[in-house]
Amino acid sequence: MHLRCSDPDCAATLDLHDRALSCPVCADLLEVVVDSIANTPAELKRMWLERRCSYAPLDASGVWRFREFLPDCYSEVVTMSEGNNPLVKGHRTAQWCGVRNLNFKHLGWNPTACFKDLGMTVGMTEAVYVGAKSVGCASTGNTAASLAAYAARAGLTAKVYLPAGQVSQNKLAQALDFGAEVVQLEGSFDLALERMLHSPDRDLYFLNSINPFRLEGQKMAIFEMLEQLGWEVPDYVVVPGGNLGNTSAFGKAFLELQTAGFLDKVPRLVVVQAEGANPFAQMWRSGAAELTPVEQPETAATAIRIGNPRSWKKALRAVQHSKGFVMDVTDEEIAEAKAMIGGDGIGCEPASATTLAGLRKAAARGKVDRDAVVVAILTGHALKDTDFIIKSQRFEHVLQGEVQL
């Protein structure tokens, strides 16, 4: 296996363990190239299912269970049984958004309550492999919590840069609980990422989603989802869009599974951004060739308050390959959709609810058929942002004691 520039016109290659985060020729992001797979899809599907009955740490992970599609050089793997996240049927939510067959893939039900753990297990394992002593990231909160936890497991020092006052207290508390060094910076996430990338600490191993190993783990959400659907490909997969790492990882998963003969078609990828942090949706609508960053991103869904998504080129290729589309929703629509998901007994954090809000809008516009099979990705747990829930309009009267519970 090796690293390759993600721009197909460049395709420069690097050693798998090169610590570069971008191509030395054209500066585009890098990706891990998976070797051709020796087993047939039928053999692998059977082997992966059998591993579900095993308590061996690698088999018990919903990421490493699919390790034939991951680098195989590691003798020490940093894992906490991440993944193994169920597909939960939407009931009232399905009716509300006008799609009959709605499934939520809940990645909030992970060790630190967010999808980041899927990527962090691989990223941290690679950090240990290359001998890193300290790891770092800029974060809207969830990456910080996940990095802090996995660094603690690996015995590495964690340093996280957060946009001051813009991160949910619950996520900040997690990072502190796991012993990370927290730096709060004035300005946006984009600025924090810029600062982190230019940190004078050259020994720091970067674990934002521009790290290609992170995406290797995140792509396994799709492997697991397809296994749960009996390898029947859904019509749509709906995902929130922030820095666009997930969209890129999911596109990579579909492409690899298609190439290896697991799938004869891929679902349409639908990316949903918040209206106040929507550079990718703007670009999609306008048909522009380049992304124009949103200078001051603003949304109550703080996890996706990102104006300059680094993985937009990878994500664009993924959406185009899948014949999907990109859209945005207002904060009001997000809040309403979040309350509906809560009302279905599932719950999620605000950024995750963009999926249901987007789906409802797309169905109303006839862009998603009523009978389509849809999987909406829920990226974070409801308890990730309790302030949002408590401050929500619909609870004001409860807090004032006017409603008999």
Ligand X SMILES: Cc1ncc(COP(=O)(O)O)c(C=O)c1O
**Is residue 208 within 8 Å of residue 214, measured between CB atoms?**
yes
Bridge partners for 268 per DSSP: 236
Tell me whether residue 6 or residue 170 sits nearer to Zn ion (CB atom): 6
Smallest separation (angstroms) from ligand X to the CB of 55: 29
Q: Which residue's Cβ has the minimum distance to ligand X? A: 242
Residue 168 contact among Zn ion, ligand X, none, beta carbon within 5 to 8 Å by kind: none
Among residues 3, 5, 301, 359, the one that binds Zn ion under rule CB under 5 A: 5
Residue 224 contact among ligand X, Zn ion, none, beta carbon within 5 to 8 Å by kind: none
Tell me whether residue 7 or residue 190 sits nearer to Zn ion (CB atom): 7
**H/E run at residue 106:** strand 101-106
Q: Which stretch binds Zn ion (CB under 5 A): 12-20, 32-40, 172-180, 379-387?
A: 12-20
**Is residue 233 within 8 Å of residue 226, measured between CB atoms?**
yes
Tell me whether residue 23 or residue 318 sits nearer to Zn ion (CB atom): 23
Residue 23 contact among Zn ion, ligand X, none, beta carbon within 5 to 8 Å by kind: Zn ion
Residue 49 contact among ligand X, Zn ion, none, beta carbon within 5 to 8 Å by kind: none
Tell me whether residue 7 or residue 59 sits nearer to Zn ion (CB atom): 7
Tell me whether residue 83 or residue 241 sits nearer to ligand X (CB atom): 241
Radius of gyration of the chain (CA): 20
Q: Where are the beta strands (DSSP E) in 331-387?
A: 373-378
**Is residue 135 within 8 Å of residue 205, measured between CB atoms?**
yes
First and final C-alpha spacing in the chain: 58
Q: What are phi and psi of 282, to 5 degrees?
A: -60, -45
Q: Which of the residues 18 through 57 are near Zn ion (CB under 5 A)?
A: 23, 25-26, 28
Residue 12 contact among Zn ion, ligand X, none, beta carbon within 5 to 8 Å by kind: Zn ion
Question: Count of residues binding Zn ion (CB under 5 A)?
Answer: 8
Tell me whether residue 312 or residue 388 sits nearer to Zn ion (CB atom): 312
How far, rounded to the nearest angstrom, does the alpha carbon of residue 49 sit from its chain's CA centroid? 24
How far, rounded to the nearest angstrom, does the alpha carbon of residue 253 sit from its chain's CA centroid? 13
Cβ neighbours around 235 below 10 Å, total: 16
Smallest separation (angstroms) from Zn ion to the CB of 168: 36
Look up residue 299 and give its two tokens.
Answer: 């949304």
Smallest separation (angstroms) from ligand X to the CB of 118: 11
Identity of the residue numbered 96:
W
**Is residue 4 within 8 Å of residue 13, measured between CB atoms?**
yes
Q: Is residue 3 part of the contact set for Zn ion (CB under 5 A)?
A: no
Smallest separation (angstroms) from ligand X to the CB of 201: 23
DSSP three-state, residue 271 = strand
Tell me whether residue 363 or residue 378 sits nearer to ligand X (CB atom): 378
Smallest separation (angstroms) from ligand X to the CB of 331: 15
Half-sphere exposure of residue 70: CA atoms within 13 angstroms, side-chain side: 29
Residue 304 contact among Zn ion, ligand X, none, beta carbon within 5 to 8 Å by kind: ligand X
Q: Would you report the helix, strand and coil content of the chain in percent, each value rounded to 5? A: 40, 15, 40
Tell me whether residue 9 or residue 402 sits nearer to Zn ion (CB atom): 9
Distance CA 59, CA 54 (A): 6
Distance CA 94, CA 71 (A): 38
Residue 244 contact among ligand X, Zn ion, none, beta carbon within 5 to 8 Å by kind: ligand X
**Residues binding ligand X (CB under 6 A):** 114, 140, 142-143, 209, 240-247, 303-304, 349, 351-352, 379-380
Q: Which residues bind Zn ion (CB under 5 A)?
A: 5, 7, 10, 12, 23, 25-26, 28
